[in-house]
């Protein structure tokens, strides 16, 4: 079986398990026990303890935070010094507009 087919069938099975486990507390506890048992069996069969793990020291920790608030409406908050002065349309000088 192709890897994509395996991933797809496992995804569907896990989705069904999630819906089953979410119905009651007893079904949740049952699902957790079964999953822990499967993980222990997988560790024993695959001998995962011999696989070297990367240390977490050098990695950045992903932390989910609130997004930054960005104003999308209203006038921009520019300083008065940075506002471009109006020029005369005829002579292009400051101080008058016509």
d(CA 22, CA 29): 10
Q: How confident is the model at residue 66, as a pLDDT?
A: 82
Extents of the domains making up the chain: 1-46
Sign of CA dihedral 52, 58, 59, 61: positive
Task: Evaluate whether 55 touches 45 at the Cβ level (below 8 Å).
Answer: no
pLDDT in tens, 52-78: 555 555 555 567 778 888 777 776 666
Mean pLDDT, residues 31-46 taken together: 86
Q: Give, to the nearest 10 degrees, the angle between helix 25-46 and helix 3-21.
A: 150
């Amino acid at each position: 079986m192709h890897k994509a087919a395996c991933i797809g069938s496992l995804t569907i099975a896990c989705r069904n398990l999630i819906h089953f486990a979410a119905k009651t507390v007893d079904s949740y506890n049952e699902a957790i026990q079964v999953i822990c048992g499967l993980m222990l069996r997988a560790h024993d069969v695959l001998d995962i303890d011999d696989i070297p793990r990367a240390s977490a020291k050098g990695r950045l920790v992903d932390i989910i935070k609130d997004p930054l608030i960005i104003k999308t409406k209203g006038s921009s908050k520019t300083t008065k010094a940075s506002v471009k002065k109006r020029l005369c349309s005829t002579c292009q000088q400051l101080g008058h507009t016509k």
